Amino acid sequence: MDSVAWPGRWSPLGVTHDGLGVNVALWSQGADRVEFCVFDRDGTETRHELAESTFHVFHGYVAGVEPGTEYGFRVHGPWDPEQGHRFNPNKLLIDPYARAITGELVLDPAIYGHVGSDDLVMSHGDSAPFVPRSVVTSNGFDWSGDRHPRTNWSDTVIYEAHVKGMTAQHPEVPEELRGTYAGLTHPAVIDHLLALGVTAVELLPIHHFVPETGVLERGLVNYWGYNSIGYLAPHAAYAASGTRGQQVNEFKGMVKAMHQAGLEVILDVVYNHTAEGNQLGPTLSFRGIDNSHYYRLSQGRFYTDYTGCGNTLDASSPHVLQLIMDSLRYWVTEMHVDGFRFDLASALARSFHDVDMLGSFLTTVQQDPVLRNVKLIAEPWDVGDGGYQVGEFPPLWTEWNDKYRDCVRDFWRGSVGVGELGWRLSGSADLYASEGRRPFASINFVTAHDGFTMRDLATYDYKHNEANGEDNRDGTDNNRSWNMGVEGETTDVEIDRDRHRQIRNFFATLLLSSGVPMITMGDELGRTQDGNNNAYCQDNGISWVDWELAPWQQEMLEFAHRVVHLRRQHPVFRQRYYFRGDAVTETGQKDLAWIGPDGREFSAEEWNSGTTRTIGMFLSGPLRGRDKWGRPVTDTSYLILLHSGPDHCPFVLPGPPCGHSYRRVLDTTDGGETVSPIAEPEGTKIMLTPRSLVVYEVVS
């Protein structure tokens, strides 16, 4: 022991710089002693005992510690794994409230609190040379002029992106900025997002994370970042400016630049588990601070795993809940983000074992004056029994709608009829309306980071994960994909033409459905992962966006622009209320009508037939909503035709009350040609191309 810290304060938690030194506060209910460990530039460690303890918070003040200083904690207490206690002062621990973290996790036996494969035997190796360290930071960013865009949910178009993958190969971004927060602010990137027409960028995890040790042993990394270890620290490897606190201001600069462009920033957050894994994982932070209170344990020694990642944070524990809430508020108030997507959110809603929608986490978020005013998105499932809760999260929350994903994939590969499709295209009222929620409760997606890209959905029937160190051929029934008869890329012109049309079908369906569309990074460019549908450990060209576009990819991008802007220009595609299926005009025009190929409304038999492959969705221009001045909202009426059959199909354009004449404004057929200057009268029999989507504007 080098010194004893001055008493300091027990609040706030973490390390707080005041200009002369730092106040240090660490909560641990089971610890006997805590040491605050400071490292000089040459790596020399100085330990300061936090001799004061108030409400189980060990605290002290250390003068002379400046921003940029690396530090950690050593926590003394009982080593009794069978009772859940894994205190080991030989392990340097990351501050749960660290605002910045630096350094890599290095594979060495010392990173484990135990010896070898026996988690009951305590390790005496010093982990300090092999683990990341916390960094002292100070506030000093000019937020003047920054304003949250506060885009209405009904107007939102989300773009799911990876900080590194977005710019790692971008030819216009300077090499030193590629793969960084600063790289995302380059005009070439901002201009791409604005031209596409998205309103929010949802970033894959940027909380500081480390790779799983098993992934490191295979010579790979955790690229996606769903392995958090610092909930208030932006991931250091994404910073171009440095990792000793500079990453904080660089992240803030990225948010400010996005806001200036009118783009919201949403964070994908992982509060359900940490990077410490199960009982055989490394001791990096929470395990060594107070294992039995941070994690859900089974039989004391083992970890309850609702996440598939080895452990589950116990969000029902008051101090764990406090950490989560403090983290969320920090990212809103200090880092100015606009919302969150919660990975495996039902794991956070578990009380004891079962998912509890009235439990402490959801109830606390509901009443929080900061968080209830930002965008909240749930991935509404986990891997535990009873964890799948799509449609059951309370108001304020929106949800990833995997039923939408599966239904749209199945329809376009021709394996289902249109019965469920009607619900999904019109906002999934069957899932969300009963709680008083609106269509925007449904986050619609066809692809996400996890799974095939749109291009790969039309190119592969199997996932090919040999690059992950796996011999895995998981077939089409799980992927809901269809390769058009040839596995993988081909030089067959006809097959390629069909595949490109299928990508346009996916994209147009997504953007023209009621609900909030989420576009996966690169789908607008026809990006491929070479059939890898679980590229979590591929920090290379498999996962990065390739900005060198073939002619058909440039056409795809232009098509994507047209579809997104069609949605943004017309509120008929951005419904604020669920359809009722009854008249909204004196002529009897319904707000929503389903039209069959004969030009008449669908019969119950056609709805329920599993062989129906063609459907027309009529959307009335007179809407149920009103603008902010109370005036009725009126738009153009549209007819969307979706045909997933393998043959050409005649379709009769319907007459009144739908309309008298129609003009084609979008068509996924070859090349994605769209606008037709010629209006076609009611009763005209048009011919739909196999597996195509056509949009008609009602002109009279």
Q: What is the pLDDT of the chain when averaged over all its residues?
A: 94
In a domain, 427, yes or no: yes
* Contact between residue 25 and residue 56 where contact means Cβ atoms under 8 Å apart: no
Same domain, 607 and 689: yes
* Contact between residue 566 and residue 666 where contact means Cβ atoms under 8 Å apart: yes
3-state secondary structure 148-169: CCCCCHHHCCEEEECHHHHHCC
pLDDT over threshold 90, residue 640: yes
**Residue 365: which CATH number?**
3.20.20.80
Residue 399 annotated as catalytic: no
Same domain, 164 and 115: no
Return the pLDDT at 700.
Answer: 80
In a domain, 596, yes or no: yes
Number of domains in the chain: 3
pLDDT tens digits for 88-102?
Answer: 999 999 999 999 999
Peptide bond into 657 cis (omega under 30): yes
Same domain, 308 and 420: yes
Q: How far is Cα of residue 686 from the mean position of the Cα atoms in its chain? A: 40
Number of C-beta neighbours around residue 480 at 10 A = 21
Domain end among 383, 418, 452? 452
| The overall pTM is greater than 0.95 | yes
Peptide bond into 12 cis (omega under 30): yes
pLDDT tens digits for 578-601?
Answer: 999 888 888 899 999 999 999 999
* Mean pLDDT value of segment 265-283: 98
Return the pLDDT at 351.
Answer: 76
Instruction: Give the residue, 203 or 384, on which the prediction is more confident.
Output: 203
pLDDT over threshold 90, residue 538: yes
In a domain, 550, yes or no: no
pLDDT over threshold 80, residue 273: yes
Same domain, 169 and 305: yes
Q: Which of 305, 343, 456, 591 does the annotation list as catalytic?
A: 343
Same domain, 621 and 680: yes
Dist. CA 488–CA 458, nearest whole Å:
9
**Residue 30: which CATH number?**
2.60.40.10
pLDDT tens digits for 239-251?
Answer: 999 999 999 999 9
Which among 227-241, 605-619, 657-671 has the top mean pLDDT? 227-241
In a domain, 276, yes or no: yes
Same domain, 116 and 181: no
Q: Which of 160, 314, 379, 461 does the annotation list as catalytic?
A: 379
Same domain, 345 and 230: yes
Return the pLDDT at 436.
Answer: 87
Return the pLDDT at 670.
Answer: 73
* Contact between residue 185 and residue 163 where contact means Cβ atoms under 8 Å apart: no
Same domain, 121 and 263: no
Domain end among 78, 103, 135? 135
Backbone angles phi, psi at 233, to 5 degrees: -115, 125
pLDDT over threshold 90, residue 147: yes
**H helical segments located in 516-615:** 551-569, 604-608
In a domain, 469, yes or no: no
Residue 673 annotated as catalytic: no
**H helical segments located in 310-438:** 318-333, 345-348, 360-367, 402-412, 419-425, 429-432
Q: Which domain holds residue 103?
A: 3-135
In a domain, 486, yes or no: no
In a domain, 532, yes or no: no
The packing angle between helices 187-196 and 551-569, to 10°, is 60
Same domain, 388 and 445: yes
Same domain, 19 and 50: yes
Number of C-beta neighbours around residue 373 at 10 A = 14
Tokens of 153: 């949910």
In a domain, 87, yes or no: yes
Domain end among 452, 471, 492? 452
pLDDT tens digits for 440-473?
Answer: 999 999 999 999 999 999 999 987 777 777 655 5
Same domain, 128 and 87: yes
pLDDT class for 282, splitting at 50, 70, 90? Answer: very high
pLDDT tens digits for 367-378?
Answer: 999 999 999 999
Same domain, 129 and 160: no
